[in-house]
Structure 1
């Protein structure tokens, strides 16, 4: 269709979509796939996806659901038996008491996070986001017309925000605090003492709620996982989000959930009812089987992730200019790489920032990683360690060689 004068100067798109950034992890993965389609041997370390297969007993439950004809609409908040199993999981793993009416099952943990943000945040409300943060947090706040307030942890403290930082950042407009533990992208894990201090701060500010993203709960190398909702003084103001993608290697199944006090849970259910309604009936039966099957498969994956983390750290310690804290969980490393800014590539291009460096490594080393800008840390880069030992060793060998070419 020929372009008219009007269409050349105006756009029919809403302001909310034009100001929204595309997910940087998805964008880099897209570039990676384009090179792979050209026949290039690219090692993709940009995506946060387990390379393990979903355990067979979970697949079998999905097949059985199909055979049983379990293919109809489900309640918006999830089938009753799954919501009860999630309550049982919280009691077993987190010593938290929830009732099924406090659980909302969603099409992935990302939707659960969006439900909570859209249900709580009004235009102009401030949302403190612990930084570095997962790429979608800030965009969700924008979508709700809130004001994201990044609060940056220091490298020396494994990028973890302190209670004192939080206290200083809270204003009369603060409505919500968002964070993840174990953290994507840093792998940092908040201790009981650290979250206890944060809970004390929040207790002094009753207008402030907290959104705790615990999707990496099972991928923890330090032992104890602590939930902010375990602290009685703030329990009713914490929304806890979790899901199946990481701990059960179920990324493509798109199944997550949140737990909150009943009025907030109902608000999230109402929000979801107007967007997707209940998530897939088949996936919910699979999730039920996953929870009933326990953590054995997750523990096996954690052992592999720990080994891979140590393998990668052993290589990168010999890469000049990489400042890499040891991750306590998740499956990423998040080095500070600013030592390479201002250097020149063999083709004469200057590495001005982390995005330039990520693109250089993609094209020269054929290794895909994500610039830290998207995570609120412009001097850093995120590399996934969710790949085989052999691929990781080869990837970081290539990275080391390519970085040595910069002058």
Structure 2
């Protein structure tokens, strides 16, 4: 009898470890530090929303929702785009409810990318883009952007396009850059994508966290770009309920058809009572404006509180983050200084460098201000002493 040869097994993501978010939150808990690292609120969500979930459950909405999402919720999203952007989106064949924005991103990439395809991303980048592209055999082509402006040079982008380029990923507003793309940026992207027959994944999860009375430039506002784009949105960011993992994707009918083919295989449908609750909760379109006002006040609280500190605060045009330049305080690397803040001072922030694939040190830390005022004030008091 011949012995069977030992089968070798190797990781599909050999260069991917644990996320910096999980690491810093775990350290914050270990050292009982104020956690301004991971992007989640520490305050309660609206009790009205919780009551609506409970009501939906008691009313029997506990079985599978339709694969694309509840018609009532998709209609509510259609109404949002009409009132907020004056854009018509078909609720039947252009919107799919997803199990969080990250799942929507994953499924979009799974839908589009084949082995050997190239994907252009802009760094610093949200950490799910690269491993998902690589998981499906694609190659990431990064464009590095730097503080303070994180400005995109579209000529550089054009030079990176090859016959294998298939997708460009943008994040607008950007996490962790805290910047927003202008209409000119979107026109440039539209031209490049159209001329080179590329798809676009527009990660717009912070679309309603835009400050100083500026308007969000969604990919849906640019008709030729819209026909090539998957626009990703998040209820978690919108409703302060990140743990619900609820989001959606908007795409033209032909792309939505392909997206749903993958979506039904890895998720099929998402939480039925939560879909009912959100559809009922968002019956007042003024909520969107109130959200940006609510979060801008928190941003300004931190800016005012640290204006006499030794940190140089970068502008935050969007998201619920701020970037702090600590170059006047320490020569340590971003990771080492972040560890020092946790272990010696009791405040957890996120280093910027892990958002780049290649080691990039700019002496920047990311602060999340989606926290109780008391939490922010306690952290401000500590940071002012450095």
CA contact (8 A) 2:13 2:134 kept: no
- Cα offset for 1:103? 1.3
Give the CA RMSD over aligned residues: 2.3
Determine if the alignment matches structure 1 residue 21 to structure 2 residue 17.
yes
CA contact (8 A) 1:236 1:260 kept: yes
Determine if the alignment matches structure 1 residue 386 to structure 2 residue 382.
no
- Gaps of at least 5 residues in structure 2 are 1-5
Match of 1:128 among 120, 126, 130: 120
CA contact (8 A) 1:118 1:144 kept: yes
Aligned length: 375
**Residue range with higher mean Cα deviation, 146-155 or 64-73:** 146-155
Aligned to 1:260: 251
Q: Distance in 1 between matches of 2:154 and 2:13?
A: 34
Determine if the alignment matches structure 1 residue 302 to structure 2 residue 292.
yes
Aligned to 1:109: 101
Q: Distance in 2 between matches of 1:295 and 1:201?
A: 35
Q: Distance in 2 between matches of 1:139 and 1:374?
A: 13
State the TM-score, normalized to the length of structure 2. Answer: 0.89
Write out per-residue CA displacement over residues 177-219 of structure 1, whole angstroms, 9 at most, x where no aligned residue.
112111111221112233223222222211x111111111111
Q: Distance in 1 between matches of 2:264 and 2:247?
A: 15
Write out per-residue CA displacement over residues 320-378 of structure 1, whole angstroms, 9 at most, x where no aligned residue.
4x44321011111123445666x4xxxxxxx3x21111111110111111121222254
Q: Which has the higher contact order (CA 8 A, sep 6+)?
A: 2
Write out per-residue CA displacement over residues 41-80 of structure 1, whole angstroms, 9 at most, x where no aligned residue.
x110011113443223322221121111111112222122
Aligned to 2:27: 31
- Cα offset for 1:156? 4.1
- Cα offset for 1:13? 6.3
Q: What aligned pairs does 1:64-75 form with structure 2 within 5 A after superposition?
A: 64-75=55-66
Aligned to 2:203: 213
CA contact (8 A) 1:312 1:392 kept: yes
Aligned to 1:193: 184
- Gaps of at least 5 residues in structure 1 are 1-9, 37-41, 344-350
| Paired residue secondary structure (2:217) | coil
Aligned to 2:304: 314
Aligned to 2:321: 332
CA contact (8 A) 1:77 1:269 kept: yes
**Residue range with higher mean Cα deviation, 276-285 or 10-19:** 10-19
Match of 2:274 among 252, 273, 283: 283
